[in-house]
Amino acid sequence: MPKKKDNVVRPFAYTKDTLIMDLLHRYAKRSEIGIATHGKTMVEATKPVAEWIEDAQEEAWDKIVYLEKLKRILSNLNIK
């Protein structure tokens, strides 16, 4: 049975894998925060295609920076 945490109900998917359930919960919670922040869902969001592309590129660049930081931390700890 799906659990309810932080006012986010997870009826959309269920798996016995708790890692996946935790990720789905975080995804749903992030969506609720976005809706509260921007006042609309992604379905309702509108902007020029070029802005969507720019947003996606910025998100990708952030991921690369985070991954590089983690690589350096692991390297400094001699973890391969």
The distance from CA 55 to its chain's CA centroid, rounded to whole angstroms, is 14
Instruction: Quote the pTM value.
Output: 0.66
Distance in angstroms (rounded) separating the CA atoms of residues 41 and 21: 22
What pLDDT score was predicted for residue 13?
A: 76
Q: Are 55 and 31 in contact (CB under 8 A)?
A: no
**Structure confidence at residue 3 (pLDDT):** 54
| Average pLDDT per block of 10 residues along the chain, 80 residues long | 54 84 91 95 95 97 97 92
Q: CA-to-CA distance for 5 and 2, rounded, in angstroms? A: 10
